[in-house]
Amino acid sequence: MSISAAEVRFDDHTMWVDLSDGRTIGVPLAWFPRLLHATKAEREDVEISPMGLHWDALDEDISIAGLLAGRGDQTHTRSQVA
């Protein structure tokens, strides 16, 4: 069975994704700087596909598999903590 997004919504600090299997996951907007710095209208202009979420104007793509694995923005290298 493939899990996909059914709906996406935002509050001031979190992106909430309702999944096709009935779960809802919340991830901090800080994980995705493009969404964090976007306007409300830009955030709401999301395309939901079977594999994930896409914001054309923000050049942002987020996979559902990545969200479920706890991965944030993969376009920037994060410093490692010892």
In the beta sheet, which residues pair with residue 54?
47, 61
Q: How far apart are CA 71 and CA 53, in angstroms?
A: 14
User: What is the model's pTM?
Assistant: 0.85
Tell me: the pLDDT tens digits for 11-62?
Answer: 999 999 999 999 999 999 999 999 999 999 999 999 999 989 999 999 999 9
Domains in the chain: ranges and CATH: 5-68 (3.30.2020.40)
User: To 5 degrees, how large is the angle CA 13–CA 2–CA 31?
Assistant: 20
